[in-house]
Amino acid sequence: MRIDILTLFPEMFQSPFSVGIFKRAIDQKLVSVNTHNIRDYTRDTHHTVDDYAYGGGAGMILKPEPIFEAVESMKSDIYSKEGADALPILLLTPQGRLFTQEVTHELSRYRHIILICGRYEGVDERVRQHLVTDEISIGDYVLSGGELAAMVVVDAVVRLLPGVLGSEASPLDDSHTTGLLEYPQYTRPAAYRGWSVPQVLLSGNHAQIAKWRREWSILRTLERRPELLDKANLSLEEKQLIDGRKQS
Ligand code: 6GU
């Protein structure tokens, strides 16, 4: 997968992509992440990227021309005109569609995506109307710019790409993919400061362990995020477990 990021602050993206699974994915060429400075696409001597809002008000607005030109130059570098039509061009903005695990799966199916980091005060509306194909928000709070949100999106999408996680870990088991939160996890030592690991996990009985984990996933979801249970795939027995808990 190829990911292009348009930003005023490309230097923000250096450290997250130079460690861990990201670095490995980039080194193995499973993904290429390219940042582009919007300022490089200005044509005036002052390299102006923003300007006052028509109608007044505080805050500067990102100008349309450098953003359009950056995206267009990228498209013409890579595609014939038709090929670029399906290319997702995503604007990161608090006004966007809420980013969920479903959206990560959706985005992970593209061969190429372009992310445009807005800034909180705003982006000229013509970018929204005539350039971007979708707008994404990572939650109901306000960040000073779209950069951190873009990193969140890229992280969540890249770890789903084939070969990025080791062979054992499967993104299909993730919280929010199963619709349930994760069960409690332990590692050695079996007893620490008198706190013991649940006996069943030491038993070697895989069926019992799977049952214990599934139950804890369900109970933990019930306790912390009950609204997720509506979408989870539960057996009749599991629904009864929940009803039992609700009544007690
Ligand atoms: Cl994508 N951008 C900004 N500036 N703030 C946000 C956001 C994005 N998502 C949540 N808050």
DSSP letters for 113-147: EEEEE-BTT-B-HHHHHHT-SEEEESSSS--SBSH
Q: What is the CATH number of the domain that holds 60?
A: 3.40.1280.10
Residue 241 backbone phi and psi in degrees, to 5: -55, -45
The average confidence (pLDDT) of the chain is: 94
Answer yes or no: do 114 and 143 share one domain. Answer: yes
Q: What whole-number percentage of the chain has pLDDT above 90?
A: 84
CA of 118 to the centre of ligand 1 (A): 8
Work out which ligand 1 atom sits closest to the CA atom of 146. 2
Asked if the model's pLDDT at residue 168 lies above 80, the reply is no
Look at residue 80 in the predicted model and tell me its pLDDT. Answer: 67
Write down which residue in 126, 158, 190 finishes a domain. Answer: 158
Work out which ligand 1 atom sits closest to the CA atom of 92. 1
Work out which ligand 1 atom sits closest to the CA atom of 99. 9
The count of other CB atoms within 10 Å of the CB of residue 41 is 20
Q: Which of 2-16, 68-82, 105-119, 140-154 has the lowest mean pLDDT?
A: 68-82
Look at residue 131 in the predicted model and tell me its pLDDT. Answer: 97
Q: What is the CATH number of the domain that holds 199?
A: 1.10.1270.20
The count of other CB atoms within 10 Å of the CB of residue 84 is 17
At 73-131, the pLDDT tens digits run 988 878 765 567 789 999 999 999 999 999 999 999 999 999 999 987 899 999 999 99
Is 94 a pocket residue for ligand 1 (Cβ < 6 Å)? yes
Asked if the model's pLDDT at residue 71 lies above 90, the reply is yes
Is 6 a pocket residue for ligand 1 (Cβ < 6 Å)? no
At 220-241, the pLDDT tens digits run 999 999 999 998 999 999 999 8
Strand duo 89-98 + 112-117: pairing: parallel
CA of 138 to the centre of ligand 1 (A): 6
Asked if the model's pLDDT at residue 55 lies above 70, the reply is yes
Give the global pTM: 0.93
Is 59 a pocket residue for ligand 1 (Cβ < 6 Å)? no
Answer yes or no: do 154 and 217 share one domain. Answer: no
Range of the domain at 193: 175-247
Burial profile 137-156: b = 16 or more Cβ within 10 angstroms, e = fewer:
bbeeeebebbbebbbbbbeb
Token reading at 71: 């995206």
Q: Is residue 148 part of a domain?
A: yes
